[in-house]
Amino acid sequence: MKKLISLLVILAVFIGGSFVAYHYFYGGTAYYTKITTLGTRENEKDDESHDTTHYIYNQTAYNKDGESKQVVLSEFREKPLKLNAYLKLKVNPRKGVISWEEVSHNEVPKKAIKKIE
C-alpha cells in the first residue's frame, strides 16, 4: 500500500510540474491588434543558402481590458500580412508573440477594438 501511495504522489508531482512548466514556457495572454503597415522586410539566407523573406511588425496590441502592450511580430513568409487584418496574438511574458491568428472585427473584445480604432 505504501508503494502505491508513493507512486501516486510521485505521479501527481510529475503531472503538476509538467502542467506548470508547459504554461510557463508556452502559455500566454491574448492580445489583439490591427495590421496597418506592410512591416519591415528583410531578405536573408538560411543554412542551406536558400533565400528567405522575413517581415517584422512593431505593433501596439491590446488585451480584453483595453490595456496596451508593445509587441514585435516576426514572420517568415513570401508576402506581408494583409493590411487592416485583425490579429489575435498569444503573448508570453518571456518569449513575446508565440502564435497568432486572423480574426474578424466582431471577435475582437469591445474595449480592445475601441483602443485599436
For the segment(s) 29-116, the CATH number from 3.10.129.10, 3.20.20.150, 3.30.70.1340, 2.40.50.480 is: 2.40.50.480
Residues 113 and 80: their CA atoms lie apart, in Å, by 22
Q: Locate cell 502542467: which residue?
A: 19
- Answer yes or no: are the C-beta atoms of 37 and 82 closer than 8 Å: no
What is the predicted pLDDT for the residue at 106?
Answer: 92
What is the predicted pLDDT for the residue at 3?
Answer: 85
Cα torsion for 63, 66, 71, 73, to the nearest 10°? 60
Residues 77 and 52: their CA atoms lie apart, in Å, by 8
- Answer yes or no: are the C-beta atoms of 52 and 104 closer than 8 Å: no
Please count the CA atoms within 13 angstroms of the CA of 50 that sit on its side-chain side. 7
Domain ranges for the chain: 29-116
Residues 93 and 55: their CA atoms lie apart, in Å, by 22
- Answer yes or no: are the C-beta atoms of 25 and 94 closer than 8 Å: yes
Residues of the chain with pLDDT under 50: none
Nearest to 39 by CA among 92, 83, 88: 83
